[in-house]
Chains A and B, each alone.
Chain A
Amino acid sequence: MKHLQKKIWLLAIVVLIIMVVIWMSLTYYNQKMQDQYNQILERYLIMNELNMVSQELVGSLNSYVLTPSDENIRTVERHKSRMNVLYGQVSDFRNAENASELTNYMNLTVSLVEMAERAINFQAAGETEPAKTALNEALHIADYVSEMRLSVIDKELVTYDIVYREIIDRSEKLNELGVWLLISIILLLLFFTYWFSLRITQPLEKLTNSARQLAKGRFDIKIESDSKDETAILAGTFEQMRSNLNQLFIETKQKAKLEAELQESKYLLKESQLLSLQSQINPHFLFNTLNTLSKKAYMDGSAETSDLLVSIADLLRYNLRHMDRPTALREEIYVLEQYIHIQKARYTDRLTFIHEIDEAGLDTLIPGLTLQPIVENAIIHAVEPSEHGGTIWFRLKNEPDRVIIEVEDDGPGISNEKIDELMAAREITSEKSTGIGFKNVVQRLRLFNGSEQVVQIESERGKGTKIILYIFKKEAVPVNY
């Protein structure tokens, strides 16, 4: 589950980065703000301290002039050095706005220090009066320092006014930013999570749907997956399984079909054999008897009867011999002629048989006993019922890949329903016929040709029926008779 794990990690990292970025920028901002505050505050403190130290200096100077002790002079010196330090710091605060006030302020403190030094010098020299005057001056100046401090700080307030307002403004803006940020992040995360979960669940859902289709038995729908993670592998494997199953399914179906066809042909063969056996109680005995009768008739001077008997014998022999393998059309037509010969003897002038045969197609193979049952049908339905008899046309046309055989009569014709029934019905039913039924013939031809398109029936009521058979010249489907 590397890929899915990666995706989850990605989500977590993105969230983490957003949080860190926000946290860092807010911290940075806070720091900046703090610095700004401190800077401004420090200015005030130092400016103020300069004034405070000035006052302390004057105070200590006063103590020194009153009681000039070493300790007092040290205090004065300490304050003086402190003032020098502060002076340096304050001079850094100069800017375009406060330059003149600040300079005045600083120079006042310098004057103060100078005056203090003068007082100390006078005092050290023992001149008390000038020292006191200088002390008074120093007190004055300290007063002015105090006054100037107010102006300086006043000026500071004015110049930094806009900065204070900015700071306040930014605090408000920060709150605003917080709200926007919160909403944005919530929305972003919702969207991201939705998208992310969709990317995981969508392929899975697709797979589930495919599985459902498979369960319903539809093996022919391709399973597709456009993701690149583990579900793709799953889908691929699944697809392979489906295609295997599908192939197996198709193969099984084909095999079953073949099996059924084989079964059927076997059945048909059995039936035809049985029928032929039934019709020939003892074929050899009958055959021999017919030959004997033929000789007897010939001897009695009835040549016609003799020929007739020979025809019957030939027909019988053909039936016995050629039931289980394809024969050439030539032989089939020979047998057909023998049969017509016999029927002519029966119907005399009522039966007219006309045949047009293309000699080139005579070598084509055909299942045995195919033509005779069809012609027999024509005689039974067209000639027999009519008092005036009928005509039967038999045509054989040769084409490059097939042979067309037409059997046409001028009988009453058959209805379309009957035609459909004859064409469609596959089951074998007994019917009114001497030998093998029409359906049997059609079925065998179909199996022989390996195609459904073997027979065509055209009929017009009162005019006659035309049956067309197509026999393909190519190697026949190997059907074992």
Chain B
Amino acid sequence: MRKIVALMAAGLGGFLFYSTFQAAGAVFYTNWHLPAESKESPDRPRVAFIMNEMDHPFWVEVIAGAEEQAEIAGVDLDVTGIYGTNRDDFLRKIEIAIYSKVDGIIVQGLDHEKFKELTKLKAASYGIPIITVAHDVPKEESLRKTYVGSNQFSAGEQLAAQLIEDMGPEGEVVLMMNAEQEYFQQQRLDGIKNYLNGHSEIETIEAKIGADSNPDISAISDLLNYYPETEAYIAVNAAFTQNLVTEIETRSKVDPYYLYTFDEEREAYALLESGKIDGIVEQSPQEMGKISVQRMKEWLDKENVPLDIEGYFTETRIIKDAAPQ
């Protein structure tokens, strides 16, 4: 009996001491999970990377490439941007980057007065180099150091060539564009037209959707009403693709139409896979991110100056629907 009591007391005591020490250990454990000391040396260049539609798959890939390269090149990459396409917010981001005295800005080009003013005057006065990525702006107006992205002109040519191959050398082609003129859109258009000029049987129709000068075509449905015979559509501004397909589907089958777009459209690949569109111009977003950071680093290190003012072009290729038409 005495033994049992002693044993029980010993067990209870052991348990209590164990628990007490356990609790004490948890309380007096001094290792707080404080953020680590800044490892980055202050002389590492800080580069701001600014874009619209941060969550867009295209841009996600660009950022992935940029961050990868930043890691290699030893650049502090500060990716900022906006969700959506609000121009004022976008410009505000650029302005903040300039006032924050970053060492360089890589930015999606915006063909707008304020953008040009910011890059030309403000960035220059703060001595901040600017590289445009994916979408360019005219080099004389922005004082950008260089452009990294697809050669939009040749991409337009590629697409036009594909169209001729698919449709044959005659017919009407509607080129859908945003009413607000954008430089990259213009480049693509130039490319397409340049190619189609060689085929006199092809008639091109430029449709600036939402433009004041052309009030009949305020929406895609108007477009279809207006040109009921046309079978070929090229979304020079990729954003119209989804709407176009939806609109056509409400009237007839999509199959007979020749629909082409660029990979900036979120749904482009899904549409291609389901056979609703006929081709996509695929760009190399990861390459763009990579090369833009690399070039910026070279500029900052004064290694490869001056950079090629015309730009560094990344690959573009036509992706065709695998399913037979």
Q: Chain A interface (Cβ within 8 Å of chain B)?
A: 25, 29, 32, 36, 94-100, 103-105, 107-108, 110-112, 140-141, 144, 147-148, 159-160, 162-163, 166, 170, 173-174, 176-177, 180-181, 183-184, 187-188, 191
* CA of A191 to CA of B5, assembled, Å: 13
Contacts of B12 in A (CB 8 A): 187
* CA of A95 to CA of B35, assembled, Å: 6
A181 touches B13 (CB 8 A): no
What 19 additional pairs, Cβ within 8 angstroms, besides A96-B37, A163-B34, A177-B24? A25-B24, A29-B27, A32-B30, A95-B36, A96-B36, A96-B39, A99-B76, A107-B99, A107-B102, A111-B100, A144-B92, A148-B96, A148-B100, A166-B33, A177-B23, A177-B27, A180-B20, A184-B17, A184-B20
The CB with the most chain A CB atoms within 10 A, among B26, B39, B100, B102, is that of B100
* CA of A177 to CA of B95, assembled, Å: 54
Contacts of A159 in B (CB 8 A): 35
Nearest chain B residue, comparing its CB with the CB of A162:
B33
Nearest chain B residue, comparing its CB with the CB of A179:
B23
Q: Chain B interface (Cβ within 8 Å of chain A)?
A: 9, 12-13, 16-17, 19-20, 23-24, 26-28, 30, 32-40, 46, 76, 78, 92, 95-97, 99-102
A95 touches B99 (CB 8 A): no
* CA of A144 to CA of B97, assembled, Å: 10
Contacts of A184 in B (CB 8 A): 16-17, 20
Pairs across A and B, CB under 8 Å, 12 listed: A32-B30, A36-B32, A95-B35, A95-B38, A108-B100, A110-B101, A144-B99, A163-B34, A170-B27, A173-B27, A177-B20, A184-B20
B96 touches A108 (CB 8 A): yes
Contacts of A94 in B (CB 8 A): 38
Task: Given A94-B38, A180-B19, check contact A29 B100 (CB 8 Å).
Answer: no
Contacts of B30 in A (CB 8 A): 32
A163 touches B95 (CB 8 A): no
* CA of A85 to CA of B273, assembled, Å: 61
* CA of A32 to CA of B32, assembled, Å: 11
B99 touches A108 (CB 8 A): yes
B9 touches A100 (CB 8 A): no
- Contacts across chains A and B counted by CB atoms under 8 Å: 94
* CA of A187 to CA of B23, assembled, Å: 17
* CA of A424 to CA of B79, assembled, Å: 126
B78 touches A104 (CB 8 A): yes
Nearest chain B residue, comparing its CB with the CB of A103:
B46
* CA of A174 to CA of B37, assembled, Å: 29
Nearest chain B residue, comparing its CB with the CB of A186:
B16
Contacts of B102 in A (CB 8 A): 104, 107
Contacts of A140 in B (CB 8 A): 95, 99
A107 touches B101 (CB 8 A): yes
* CA of A98 to CA of B36, assembled, Å: 10
* CA of A141 to CA of B9, assembled, Å: 72
Contacts of A104 in B (CB 8 A): 78, 96-97, 100, 102
Contacts of A98 in B (CB 8 A): 35
Nearest chain A residue, comparing its CB with the CB of B12:
A187
Contacts of B32 in A (CB 8 A): 36, 163, 166
Contacts of A95 in B (CB 8 A): 34-38
* CA of A453 to CA of B28, assembled, Å: 88
* CA of A29 to CA of B32, assembled, Å: 13
A29 touches B28 (CB 8 A): yes
Task: Given A170-B26, A180-B23, check contact A99 B40 (CB 8 Å).
Answer: yes
Contacts of A99 in B (CB 8 A): 38, 40, 76
* CA of A99 to CA of B38, assembled, Å: 7
Contacts of A148 in B (CB 8 A): 96, 100
> Which of A29, A144, A166, A191 meets B95, CB within 8 Å?
A144
Contacts of A108 in B (CB 8 A): 96, 99-100
* CA of A95 to CA of B38, assembled, Å: 4
* CA of A323 to CA of B107, assembled, Å: 153
A25 touches B99 (CB 8 A): no
- Distance (Å) between the CB of A198 and the closest chain B CB? 13
* CA of A188 to CA of B10, assembled, Å: 11
Contacts of A183 in B (CB 8 A): 16
* CA of A140 to CA of B36, assembled, Å: 33
* CA of A94 to CA of B78, assembled, Å: 16
B27 touches A100 (CB 8 A): no
Task: Given A107-B101, A110-B101, A187-B13, check contact A100 B46 (CB 8 Å).
Answer: yes
Task: Given A95-B38, A96-B37, A166-B33, check contact A180 B27 (CB 8 Å).
Answer: no
- Distance (Å) between the CB of A146 and the closest chain B CB? 11
Contacts of A103 in B (CB 8 A): 46, 100
* CA of A97 to CA of B38, assembled, Å: 8
Instruction: Give 9 closest A-B pairs by Cβ, nearest first.
Output: A177-B23, A104-B100, A107-B101, A95-B35, A96-B36, A180-B20, A111-B99, A97-B35, A173-B26
